[in-house]
């Protein structure tokens, strides 16, 4: 896993520049590409900066890594937040996971159908060209939390799961899909980076993510 860090004040634009470079590389190889985005405090400012880059946005389709079982108008809905940050500013196609009008298990099935219909397969699974991940202080990625049975799913691309720690129902890409991406970028702050100071992270969900072809970009505290 490649480690890259930027001062907090530079993080949104610098990380967005890194993402834009990866997208440009992918677009040079393919007519169209598929990208999955995560919600959260670290990624959102990066998306806001990314929208100002001059890319061939019409050739990029965006999906979400995970979603909460709340209406799209809810402040906790990832699609709603990411839509405001970037989707409504660019001409890319963006797929909503769950808008709150259907049970989460139905939304999960329909979302998996969208993946299978629109994303080419490799190694037996759909393959995203790029997945942007966030991470919690407990080491969870997507909506795959420690000790959650969703971590064991190997046949489905998408799973709906109940997260006991948060008393919340989520919809998430599964580990095989995350690990099958051509490239992964993890966006975190310096507090979460502390997990990587020891080997403890290897026992958490983040430790189940393939580190090859993966960048870890950290927002460091600015020096006074």
> What is the Cα–Cα distance from 130 to 189, expressed in whole angstroms?
20
Mean pLDDT of 12-25: 98
Q: What does the pLDDT read at residue 28?
A: 97
Cβ burial of 222 (10 Å; 0-12, 13-18, 19+) is exposed
Measured CA distances, 63 to 96, 167, 221 (Å): 7, 25, 30
Kindly give, in sequence order, each residue whose CB lies less than 8 Å from that of residue 203, ignoring residues fewer than 6 positions away: none
The confidence band for 224, taking pLDDT boundaries of 50, 70 and 90, is very low
Helix H or strand E segment including 45: helix 43-50
pLDDT digits (tens, 9 = 90+) for 52-79: 999 999 999 999 999 999 999 999 999 9
The confidence band for 221, taking pLDDT boundaries of 50, 70 and 90, is confident
Strand partners, 126: 121
pLDDT digits (tens, 9 = 90+) for 82-131: 999 999 999 999 999 999 999 999 999 999 999 999 999 999 999 999 99
Mean pLDDT of 204-214: 97
Q: What does the pLDDT read at residue 223?
A: 54
pLDDT digits (tens, 9 = 90+) for 140-178: 999 999 999 999 999 999 999 999 888 999 999 999 999
pTM of the full predicted structure? Answer: 0.96
Number of domains in the chain: 1
Phi, psi of 108 (to 5 degrees): -65, -45
CATH number at residue 193: 3.40.50.1360
Residue 119 belongs to domain spanning: 2-220
> What is the Cα–Cα distance from 77 to 61, expressed in whole angstroms?
19
> What is the Cα–Cα distance from 213 to 197, expressed in whole angstroms?
21
- Flag the least confident range among 51-60, 178-187, 191-200: 191-200
> What is the Cα–Cα distance from 70 to 169, expressed in whole angstroms?
9
Mean pLDDT of the chain, nearest integer: 96
């Amino acid at each position: 896993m490649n480690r890259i860090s930027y001062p907090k004040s530079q993080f949104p634009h610098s990380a967005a520049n890194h993402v834009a470079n990866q997208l440009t590389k992918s677009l040079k190889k393919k007519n169209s590409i598929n990208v999955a985005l995560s919600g959260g405090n670290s990624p959102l400012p990066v998306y806001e900066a990314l929208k100002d880059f001059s890319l061939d946005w019409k050739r990029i389709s965006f999906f979400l890594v995970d979603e909460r079982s709340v209406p799209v108008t809810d402040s906790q809905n990832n699609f709603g937040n990411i839509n405001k940050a970037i989707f409504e500013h660019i001409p890319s196609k963006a797929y909503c996971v769950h808008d709150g009008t259907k049970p989460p298990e139905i939304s999960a099935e329909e979302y998996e159908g969208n993946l299978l219909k629109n994303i080419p397969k490799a190694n037996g699974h759909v393959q995203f060209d790029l997945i942007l991940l966030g991470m919690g202080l407990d080491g969870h990625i997507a909506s795959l939390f420690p000790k959650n049975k969703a971590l064991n799913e190997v046949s489905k691309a998408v799973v709906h799961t109940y997260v006991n720690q948060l008393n919340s129902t989520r919809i998430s890409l599964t580990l095989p899909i995350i690990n099958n991406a051509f490239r992964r970028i993890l966006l975190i702050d310096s507090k979460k980076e502390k997990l990587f100071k020891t080997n403890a992270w290897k026992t958490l969900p983040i430790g189940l993510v393939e580190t090859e072809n993966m960048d870890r970009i950290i927002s460091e505290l600015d020096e006074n």
